[in-house]
Amino acid sequence: MRKFGCRDVEYLDLQCPEVRQAVPSWMVDADLCGQMTCGLQPAADLPTLLELVRWLKQHPTADL
């Protein structure tokens, strides 16, 4: 796990056997997570985003 930031948000880089993913660090902190409010409904679910990651790995930016 690696921490990095962009503006006011810190992210955790999670590396699992088949998937590499970054999530906002507040998502793994119960106190901070409890302070968050609901926003807009998600436009894509996790399986769809993981499929996008797989597709992007198969089609490097040089191919776009």
8, 20 Cβ separation under 8 angstroms: no
Neighbours of 22 (CB within 10 A): 14
The answer to whether the pTM exceeds 0.75 is: no
Q: What is the pLDDT of residue 59?
A: 78
Whole-angstrom distance, CA of residue 63 vs CA of residue 46: 25
Sheet holding 9-15, edge to edge: 2-6, 9-15, 20-24
Helix (H, G, I), strand (E, B) or coil at 33: helix
Give the residues of the chain that fall short of pLDDT 50: 1
pLDDT of residue 63: 53
Residue 62: what pLDDT? 55
Helix (H) or strand (E) holding 12: strand 9-15
